[in-house]
Amino acid sequence: MIQTKNIYKGRDFKWPTHTNSLLLDRKHAAGTEVFLTTIQPGKFTHSHIHNDNEQLYYVIEGAGKIVFFKKGQQNKKKTIAVNKEEIVFIPLKIEHQVFCFGKKPLRYLTIDIFPKGKPKDEPTWAAHARNLKRDTKK
């Protein structure tokens, strides 16, 4: 079924470093989910990697940078700037961390694309959020 949703009316999942506002849960799609990510000035996401999904960001507001490298190649880190109205593509298995600079929050739509379908152990965003909360406490 076709759906529409205002990007500022999602379900908030707050993390210590940022907020993900869920707009389209993966449980309603074969292999996609969408959320609005907000990072406050001076804050950043934890460094992480996605083995099951690619990501596409569309920057709505603010500015920042992404530090990234291929799995196991921390000594080859690269940095790119991200600004309003830009898209960013993050392939599978690229470790990345997003930083917010400036006086405005960095807000971007995150579109997760699961090329082989959503993971069987995380068929919903809530299942992923539970695992993420557990894993980041270690």
Rounded distance between C-alpha atoms, residue 46 and residue 97, angstroms: 6
Give tens-digit pLDDT for 8-53.
Answer: 999 999 999 999 999 999 999 999 999 999 999 999 999 999 999 9
Integer Cα distance of 47 and 97 in angstroms: 4
CATH architecture assigned to 26-117: Sandwich (2.60)
Closest CA to 45 of 57, 54, 37, 36: 37
For residue 1, what pLDDT band results from cuts at 50, 70 and 90? confident
Rounded Cα distance between 86 and 82, Å, is 7
Can you give the pLDDT at residue 113?
98
With beta carbons less than 8 A apart as the criterion, state whether 106 and 53 touch. Answer: no
Task: Scan for tokens 């997760």, then name that residue.
Answer: 112
- The Cβ of residue 57 has, within 10 Å, a number of other Cβ atoms equal to 19
CB neighbours of residue 62 within 10 Å: 21
The H-or-E segment that residue 96 falls in is strand 94-101
